[in-house]
Amino acid sequence: MPKVSEAHVEARKEQIVSAAFLCFARKGFHPTTMQDICAEAHLSPGAVYRYFAGKEDIIQSACGEAQAAEYVGLLEEALAEPDTSAMFSGLAAAFFSHFDDDGADVYNRTSLQLWAEMAVNERVRESFSSNPAAVRAGLDAVVREAQRRGDIDSGLESGAVASAIRPLRRLPAPEGDGPHDRHAGLRARGRGAARRHLVDRSALA
């Protein structure tokens, strides 16, 4: 009975995720093809699919690497800091500290892709939902604390910072397509009407 070492399997997985990670940083999740990943990993499709169920599975694994557990830890440490200045420093450190070596761009870029993907992909969002919650709470706490000390104008709404996280909320599905006057929205608008907002409230249900 032949059996391969479990460490070898784990190493292969990491080889694939590492390749995917680089591809995602270059092109983003969706424009990256499985062939891109296979080429970067110097593996064939058949080999890759031995270790991962599909592309989505690889994305999930890559995101797991991007969102290291220590990230949240750093953030919470910063929040515990009683000095406001140190708090800001800690916050910045939590955001950027693990981007400070040569792998910087790859991690930074893939994290950005993840952030955008979470807004749009329910399964990814669920997998990493704990992180934005911590970030949201952390930002809000820092701003409020700074306001209490008078370092920031109390007129600045603390929730404004937290609203950066807002896009992670879900958006309603497309309408069920009842009777619809196609030109209604058009007629309502004047010629050079100021259209500060492209999307009507009605479109949000």
Q: Find the binder of a copy of itself among 1, 2, 176, 197 (CB under 8 A).
A: 197
- 136 interacts with, out of DNA, a copy of itself, none, CB within 5 to 8 A per kind: none
We find the least distance from the C-beta atom of residue 184 to a copy of itself, in angstroms, to be 11
**Residue 87 to residue 72: CA distance in whole angstroms:** 15
- 120 interacts with, out of DNA, a copy of itself, none, CB within 5 to 8 A per kind: a copy of itself
CB 44 within 8 A of CB 38: yes
Tokens found for residue 171: 């958006």
* Cβ-Cβ contacts under 8 Å for 127 (sequence gap 6 or more): 60, 63, 64
We find the least distance from the C-beta atom of residue 33 to DNA, in angstroms, to be 3
Q: Helix H segments across the chain?
A: 6-27, 34-41, 45-51, 55-66, 69-80, 84-96, 104-118, 122-127, 130-148, 158-162, 184-188
- 199 interacts with, out of DNA, a copy of itself, none, CB within 5 to 8 A per kind: a copy of itself
- 54 interacts with, out of DNA, a copy of itself, none, CB within 5 to 8 A per kind: DNA
Which one, of 55, 175, 66, 191, lies nearest residue 116 by Cα? 66
* Cβ-Cβ contacts under 8 Å for 59 (sequence gap 6 or more): 20, 24, 29, 117, 124
179 lies in the binding site for a copy of itself (CB under 8 A): no
Report helix angle 55-66 to 104-118, nearest 10: 120
| Closer CB to a copy of itself, 3 or 8, in the complex | 8
We find the least distance from the C-beta atom of residue 182 to DNA, in angstroms, to be 7
Map residues 9-48 to x or -, x wherever contact with a copy of itself holds by CB under 8 A: --xx-xx-xx--xx--xxxx-xx----x--xx-x------
- 4 interacts with, out of a copy of itself, DNA, none, CB within 5 to 8 A per kind: DNA
| Closer CB to DNA, 32 or 131, in the complex | 32
Tokens found for residue 36: 């891109």
Map residues 78-117 to x or -, x wherever contact with a copy of itself holds by CB under 8 A: -------xx-xx--xx-xx-xx-xxxxxxxxx-xxx-xxx
Apex CA 202: angle with CA 200 and CA 205, to 5°?
130
- Judged by CB under 8 A, how many residues of this single chain contact a copy of itself? 81
